[in-house]
Structure 1
Amino acid sequence: MKLILHAGPEKTGTSAVQASLFSIRDKLLSKGILYPDVCLWGDKSHHRLAFSMFEIDAWGERELFGDLLARLENEIIASRCETVILSSELLKKAFSCGNFSKFSNFVEKLFSDVIVVLVFREQVSWLASVYNQMVKDPVTKCGLTFSEFVKEEDNVDAMDYYSIASGWRSVPFVSRVLALNYAEAKNDVAPFFFSSIGFSSELVESVSVVSPEVVNQSLDRPHLDLIRFFNRFEMPADERHRLNREIVSLVDSDFNYLAPERSIIKSGDVEFIREHCLRSNQALKDEFGVMLVLPDSALYHPDDLYSGVNVRMLAKLFVSSVRSFRSGQDVS
């Protein structure tokens, strides 16, 4: 039996792949391919597997890892499928988890062929996308600038893609690590992914017509600065969601997306990222055949030239519409 383990990383079209896999589950099943129900999370990923493995209480839900694996094994056996696909970007470094030995025993018991699929995106746009998410997310509420964000120790470590690919390659049960270049997907990640793992043309074509809508739009500097402004204040989650949606809805006449000074990225950020990715990216190219091309730092301004929108004034316009703000609270 074959296992295809799609382990991210995040912000590489994982949501599109997972939504597409979920949408054609019945067709996959008829072809002997199982996208299991047991580990499904609300976003159609298998994050439940990752949460249980890492012993994370996600919104009050956590199942003992051994119990989850037992239920997953029962579903796999009952399906009589020859191929199983598991997909969660939270598993990108699962090999370093304390519970990984249990997962290894589970995999070695059921599967003779294991392919780990990783999709890598050049680090400048990848970090910009991660930063977008961290600022917008009502839980993380990131208040850093992008320049500060890229220098955080965890993010510097995350730029090292080679350690992810080589880490999975060193796992005994892994037959092959399939490393893919996000740039080759040309904004159509799901068909690219399915084609790369050897799906038939019929299955590839079927996901081409069910591509999910964009639900996690990347924002430019003015939008993010407004959201960062409000991240300093406590408010109910539903109010923060509403406020973020209102900021995102601002028309293009307010914010010119194409103006270079609207970018969150500065030339110094690109040089910093390049310096920390050079060796890792070369090794990724030499050993896994993935060549990532970082943008030219000359495309970005060397200094913070952003001055087109008075963020404080715009932010104050929203204060009156936020019910959670007590009267008299200082927003200066």
Structure 2
Amino acid sequence: MIKPSTYFANELTELLKPFNGQALKLIIHAGTPKTGTTSIQSYLDKKQSKLRRKGILYPHNHKSLNNPNAPKHQWFEKNLVTTHVENFLENLRNIMSQVKQETHTIILSSEGIYNYWWDFPDESKDMLAELAKHLDVEIWAWFREPLDFIENYYKQCIRNPQVENNPCYGKDLSFAEMLDIKWFSQHLDYQGFIDECQIVFGQNKVLAFEYKGDVIQQVMEKLGLPTTSVNAYPRYNKSLNTASIAVLRTLNQYDIKAKDKERLMPYLREINNIVENYAEETLIDVISRARVLKMANTIKF
């Protein structure tokens, strides 16, 4: 039986034949969580036409996807977690159908690439290595200070709906309890992610940035585009405070469907705003703080 990565390589070769001689760079923006990912995605999506005129493609999603108009490319990690080669190829075909003669750069963005990197089977990483053989692939990722990052990531896990086989999403767990779970704590291994990506994509193909709040400006500068008015762009996904997390943990004790939990979020955001001045303390206790700093494998920028 042919290996998934071999089949993928053969199909990818055929897919790219019409573009022989056209130098194409593929930038994969991998997040990480709470580093302005939604702002980047919304900005690139709204500037699609202007970017295309400059040879930069931020592609539309395939119409068959759930919520195809969302300005992010979650199909990327979803099909890699399951090594669903055909679905992955179908989305690549959709992208290549949008490539014009003047296109020189394609950008994909999904912070789930970082979230689920450790869940990708070896065969899926072999597929990514094949992708890097056919296209000039670069990985871009922004990283926060580890205590700030992991607290916000904990909040995101509590806020997410329950997912089968995920030990953290939608659970009633304290920060200390979640830190005991390897799936969660391994996200502190920034350097490990970089090292693995360099093995897959190449030594000089991974760009790590320190998050300082000006991500859109950094993106535009890296693309060689003007940064006028970039700083005025709105921030998205305000972090939930400790009171809201307490409410969510109570809700997580029940087997609430994802769609019903999403229906509750507008009310939770209202609670979050009302109690903002009453719930400012961190969720990380002194012992957990020391553990995080010991676990963190950070990057020297």
> What TM-score comes out, normalization by structure 1 length?
0.70
Question: In the TM superposition, what whole-angstrom CA distance separates every residue of 1:90-141 from its partner, at most 9, and x where no partner exists?
Answer: 22338754233334334432x3x43221111111111111111122223332
Structure 1 residue matching 2:254: 3-state secondary structure: coil
Distance 1:90 1:241, change over 3 A: closer
Aligned-residue offset at 1:89: 1.9
- Indicate whether 1:44 and 2:71 are aligned: yes
- Aligned with residue 199 of structure 1, among 198, 212, 224: 224
Aligned-residue offset at 1:161: 0.5
Query: 2:10 maps to which residue?
Result: none
Aligned-residue offset at 1:29: 0.5
Number of aligned residue pairs: give it: 265
- Indicate whether 1:146 and 2:167 are aligned: no
- Aligned with residue 291 of structure 2, among 252, 269, 272: 272
Query: 1:71 maps to which residue?
Result: 94
Aligned-residue offset at 1:217: 2.4
Query: 1:293 maps to which residue?
Result: none
Whole-angstrom CA distance in 2 between matches of 1:172 and 1:127: 26
Structure 2 residue matching 1:248: 3-state secondary structure: helix
User: What is the aligned-residue identity percentage?
Assistant: 25
Letter in 2 for 1:129: N
Structure 1 residue matching 2:200: 3-state secondary structure: coil
Aligned-residue offset at 1:85: 1.2
Distance 1:42 1:213, change over 3 A: farther
Query: 1:123 maps to which residue?
Result: 146
Distance 1:26 1:207, change over 3 A: farther
Query: 2:245 maps to which residue?
Result: 224
- Indicate whether 1:156 and 2:201 are aligned: no
Question: In the TM superposition, what whole-angstrom CA distance separates every residue of 1:156-176 from its partner, at most 9, and x where no partner exists?
Answer: 211110011111122355643
After alignment, is 248-257 or 228-237 more displaced?
A: 248-257
Distance 1:163 1:107, change over 3 A: same
Aligned-residue offset at 1:273: 0.3
CA RMSD of aligned residues (A): 2.8
Give yes or no for contact 2:30–2:139 (8 Å, CA) kept in 1. Answer: yes
Distance 1:239 1:91, change over 3 A: closer
Aligned-residue offset at 1:193: 3.0
Query: 2:27 maps to which residue?
Result: 4
Give yes or no for contact 2:56–2:106 (8 Å, CA) kept in 1. Answer: yes
Give yes or no for contact 2:59–2:106 (8 Å, CA) kept in 1. Answer: yes
Structure 2 residue matching 1:99: 3-state secondary structure: helix
Whole-angstrom CA distance in 2 between matches of 1:17 and 1:97: 29
Aligned-residue offset at 1:18: 1.1
Structure 1 residue matching 2:123: 3-state secondary structure: coil
Query: 1:170 maps to which residue?
Result: 199
Runs of 4+ aligned structure 1 residues displaced above 6 Å come to: none
| 1:96-107 superposed matches below 5 A | 97-107=122-132
Whole-angstrom CA distance in 2 between matches of 1:257 and 1:75: 50
Whole-angstrom CA distance in 1 between matches of 2:107 and 2:204: 15
For the pair shown, the structure with the greater C-alpha radius of gyration is 1
Question: In the TM superposition, what whole-angstrom CA distance separates every residue of 1:41-87 from its partner, at most 9, and x where no partner exists?
Answer: 55311111222233389xxxx952233333333433x3530111121
- Indicate whether 1:90 and 2:115 are aligned: no
Aligned-residue offset at 1:253: 6.3
Unpaired runs of 5+ in structure 2?
A: 1-22, 163-168
Whole-angstrom CA distance in 1 between matches of 2:274 and 2:92: 52
> What TM-score comes out, normalization by structure 2 length?
0.76
Tell me: higher relative CO, structure 1 or 2? Use CA pairs within 8 A at least 6 residues apart. 2
